[in-house]
A and B are shown apart, each in its own frame.
Chain A
Amino acid sequence: MKDVSFGQYYPAESALHRLDPRIKLLAVILYIVGIFFIRKFAGFALIALFLLVAILVSRVPFFKVLKSVRAVLFLVLFTVIMSVLFYSTKTEEPLWQWRFIKIYEQGLINAARMGLRLIFLVLGPSLLTLTTTPVELTDGLESLLKPLAMIKLPVHELAIIMSIALRLIPTLMEETEKIMNAQKARCASFDTGNIFKRAKALLPILIPLFVSSFRRADELADAMDSRCYRGAKGRTRMKVLKLRFRDFVAAFIMLALFAAILFLRYNWFGWSFLTVLI
């Protein structure tokens, strides 16, 4: 069985893998915000170039990264087609017309923008999860959210819930398989009949799974208590996140990219060659 708790993590030795998860998280947030500031296709070209370099540095195969687009392909196509069909303007002659369907040049441009934006929105975070284990992500999130503990947000508790959930996914999958096999041995069938029959057939799996999960939780709580757990109080960590030189470099590159995107959009110095770009 595949290790679900590793998510889609792609193990490799690369600068991107070694980066501090906090920097990676912040970088992805900046990247996403940046995408929404892009209007010109030159901006998309810039971000594509950035992503290309990042993927090459990460040593993750291209198809692994592109696979994430497949999940949203339908959404992308739907959005693009809809925005082409329903774009309307009075100032422009339609390029092509058939009964009530009118296609404008600006509509095509807008749709392309929308599609590119969606695709880039998926690619960036996917590169994050490909190069960062869920455990690192959890640690990074906990560390980033730590200031919120001051306003009584249970940051530590949320982080430990996350890590226990990650840890239990494979165990529960194994358990589900066991229960399903036990039911199959008694002639239960999960893949025949209409949707209602199938849903009903799931009930005898869910109930034992539920019961055993609670028992598990009980035992796990006892084991945690026995190992001196008492919440965040007085707790230290073995792996302390520490920013290194490479993390500052990465942060600088990210900020530079963001600045470039803003510059392309607002053209503060009124440089004429920028206005030529679409």
Chain B
Amino acid sequence: MIEVKNVKYIYNEGADDEKQALGGVSFSVADGEFVALVGHNGSGKSTLAKLFNGLALPKEGEVLINGMSTADKKKLFDIRKTVGVVFQNPDNQMVASIIEDDVAFGPENIGLPSAEINERVQWALEAVGMEEHRKGTPFRLSGGQKQRLAIAGVLAIKPQIMVLDESTAMLDPVGRDEVMKVIMRLNREEKMTVVMITHFMEEAALADRIIVLNGGLVAGEGKKEIFRNRELIESAGLELPLAARIADALRSRGLSLDENVTLPEELVNALCR
């Protein structure tokens, strides 16, 4: 469980370009939940990713992971075993030139015996559907495959919580789809808590709960019904999911459609009723 309590964070404090990234943010994420953190660039959402596992510490307030504060140096290792973070650029997350060695990096760091590392590498690669590349090099992979490899590298540590910091932003639609399927499966089948930081509303619409960030503050949160609050979404500099926009456009042409349409399947169902 993640508890973010009144967190403030300031970049380049004291310098001319001082900038407040977070100005008192509070929310919590329950075990097994799939939460999407959305906001436009500069809304402070990527700062949060680094706060979740203590890569950065809040200026004020605190971040608790299963009750452990990220500010507690003695707990940092345990926190990082609990919270796995996947970043945006897969190329900058790989440490080894062979896929299995890269996935093994995390379990090696937590000091597991060789045989167990081997099992975990196999399990993690299977979980992201990359087991046939085990002995290969990462350089020939597509963007989506590389990012799935990065996810496998974090998975091998078996964290309870997986944080994805715009992990689909650099991928093409096919790659994005591959990664989203893996994440959804981990959440549904492995009961992994997922926090997804994104600016793709189509992805956010798949989450159990959506938290909208704007100007370093929580502007709103809720289930995907939050997309009915058009004002909130627009003032946060975001765009509704495509299906919702199509539904809006159809509605303005006089078609009576359900207000809740946000996912493509829902749009299809509403139209084909």
Residues of chain A touching chain B, judged by Cβ–Cβ distance below 8 Å, are 3, 5-6, 134-135, 160, 163-164, 166-167, 170-171, 216, 219-220, 222-230, 234-240
Contacts and interface: CB of A to CB of B under 8 A. Distances in A.
A228 B92 contact: no
Contacts of B139: 3, 5, 170-171
Given A135-B101, A170-B139, A227-B154, A219 B111 contact: no
B63 interface: no
B6 interface: no
Nearest to B150: A223
B96 A228 contact: no
B121 A238 contact: yes
A3 B94 CA distance: 16
B92 A220 contact: yes
B207 interface: no
Given A226-B84, A228-B109, A219 B154 contact: no
Contact of A226 (B53, B91, B100, B114): B53
Contacts of B178: none
A132 to B, nearest CB: 13
A170 B77 CA distance: 32
A225 B80 contact: yes
B85 A238 contact: no
A242 to B, nearest CB: 10
B104 interface: yes
Nearest to B117: A238
Contacts of A167: 94-97
B97 A237 contact: no
B41 interface: no
B77 A222 contact: no
Contacts of A237: 104, 108, 114, 117
Contacts of B77: 228, 230
Interface in B140-155: 150, 153-154
A5 B80 contact: no
B254 interface: no
A240 B114 contact: yes
Contact of B91 (A171, A227, A228, A230): A171
Contacts of B81: 228
B67 interface: no
Given A166-B97, A170-B139, A226-B55, A238 B111 contact: no
B55 to A, nearest CB: 6
B241 interface: no
B123 interface: no
Contacts of B85: 223, 226
A234 B107 CA distance: 11
B137 interface: yes
Given A219-B92, A236-B113, A226 B80 contact: yes
B117 A135 contact: no
